[in-house]
Structure 1
Amino acid sequence: MPPVPDGSSSDISRVVRFDYADDDYLELAYEAYLKWRDNPRYKGIFYPAEYILVGKTSPYGQDWITKTTAALDRMKMPWYKLESAASTKKQFPAVTQLRDDCFELGVSFICGRGGTVVGFETDSRKAIKAARTLTGSRIEGDHFILSAGAWTSGLVPMYNSTLSTAQVLGYIRLTPAEMEKFKNLPIYSNFSTGWFNFPPS
């Protein structure tokens, strides 16, 4: 089924979630979730999963969190706050394992202002040699992959050359052993950055 022009991103995976601040919408979404979960026709193709939602506690973000958790409380639905990295590690060991595997492969996670790209440095052939960040630091590399979606035009001149119409998707082919190892990863969504990922299914 093709995506509707005013809808969310289209992919082979969909998330049914019900953490909404509006009571009516929350109840409607939860009823839909139960139908998907309990219908035997969807056994083996619908997978309930933990859901981690994170973001900066800006005035907007904090207001949204307060209203949403209050709505969940009114509906007597469980949720819990992850107070620290230690509590997150204990609750979701698969996330920690995935992080450690990335570290072993030499992956670096550069977050916050030090990981926010504001421009690029190029050589005489216009090849990108480094990315400049909000802190003024430089991130050098031999190859750069720009996956900024709708924010691309703020980083490089894109006039009349591209049109961003959806979110960038990335797929990682896993071995059967990796599928088993990471099958209990939670869905992760950061409402401040727009980054999210799905567990293997």
Structure 2
Amino acid sequence: MSQPSILIVGGGAFGTSTAYHLSHRGYADVTVLDRFAAPSKDAAATDLNKIVRYDYPNPLYTKLGLEAMRVWKDPNSLFRDLFRPTGWIMSAHEMTRDFLKAAYESGVKEKRKGVKWMSIAETKSKWPEFTGSFDGWTNLWSPEAGWVPSGEALLRFATAAQANGVKYVSGNAGFAKKILYNDEGACIGVLTANGQAHLADIVILCTGANTATLIDAKDEIVARSHCVGIMQLTPDEVEKYKNLPIVDDFEQGTSSKFISPGSQTKH
């Protein structure tokens, strides 16, 4: 029995992962469509950095986070040497203390060592670079968390998928504008911005916030976003702050990921 042709719309983390794993499971006719070449500029994963952690109140997310952490740390994995184990301070005030409590309890249940509440005095003692008063902050310390250069990780993933036979189509030829159906109402492919019809036995949408432009999903999907600013540190600032952990204030919109010396820092 011949294998089906598979069309994946969207070359972000979900689309690229799907393509990579399908190709390694023996599917030989896999195509990824995206408006941009890998790593796609539309993808949320195409970023300077993303936090890698397992501190989730949701047990499923915790399980997935632990599985992912093992891959990031594996010296033989596709993503070797990308994980930066900086640790992570999660901070809350009135509205998000319950979230932190659930994250703490999840860490304790999984017997993760070092996850603990950290007072402001202890925080400033461990990292004297912090000079603010931190009024009203409740801090949870997660020592095993860290960050990865996620855009580079996505590029490695896509490159490996292509090396295993996955076809990537970008530009207007990869910009899906309309889903195509047959007379029975079954999806048979997509129409792209250049007028080309891409047909396949199986069509998989991995389109994130753009999903609602292709199907009526307003009752199932809500697109959300965050404002992000990037600061270039001076060499002196890099030296001063290079040993700081990730700091994430869930209520005041403060998140800092300090990247290696000489590069950028995201806030």
Q: TM-score, normalised by structure 1?
A: 0.55
Aligned to 2:57: 21
1:188 aligns with 2:247: yes
1:2-29 Cα offsets, whole Å, 9 max, x none, are 3557x58x52112112110112210211
Q: 1:165 offset after TM fit, Å? A: 5.5
Kept after mapping to 2: 8 A contact 1:94/1:184: no
| Residues 1:195 and 1:44: Cα distance change in structure 2 (over 3 Å) | same
1:46 aligns with 2:46: no
1:135-161 Cα offsets, whole Å, 9 max, x none, are xxxxxxxxxxxxxxxxxxxxxxxxxxx
Alignment-mate amino acid for residue 46 of structure 1: F
Matches within 5 A, 1:46-195: 46-58=83-95, 61-77=96-112, 78-83=114-119, 85-96=120-131, 166-175=226-235, 178-195=237-254
Kept after mapping to 2: 8 A contact 1:189/1:195: yes
Q: Percent identity among equivalent residues?
A: 26
Q: 1:53 offset after TM fit, Å? A: 0.7
Q: 1:110 offset after TM fit, Å? A: 11
Structure 2: state its 5+ residue gaps: 1-38, 137-223, 261-267
1:93-121 Cα offsets, whole Å, 9 max, x none, are 3434xx6xxxxxxxxx9989xxxxxxxxx
Q: TM-score, normalised by structure 2?
A: 0.43
Residue-pair matches, total: 133
SS at structure 1 position matched to 2:89: strand
Distance 2:86 2:228 in 1: 22
SS at structure 2 position matched to 1:81: strand
| Residues 1:64 and 1:110: Cα distance change in structure 2 (over 3 Å) | closer
| Residues 1:165 and 1:70: Cα distance change in structure 2 (over 3 Å) | closer
1:32 aligns with 2:68: yes
- The structure with the larger Rg is 2
Name the structure with the higher helix share.
Answer: 1
Aligned to 1:135: none
SS at structure 1 position matched to 2:67: helix
Distance 1:93 1:42 in 2: 33
Distance 2:122 2:80 in 1: 31
Q: 1:35 offset after TM fit, Å? A: 1.2
Kept after mapping to 2: 8 A contact 1:94/1:182: yes
Aligned to 1:2: 40
Distance 1:89 1:4 in 2: 38
Distance 2:127 2:83 in 1: 21
Distance 2:80 2:50 in 1: 15
| Root mean square deviation of aligned Cα | 3.0
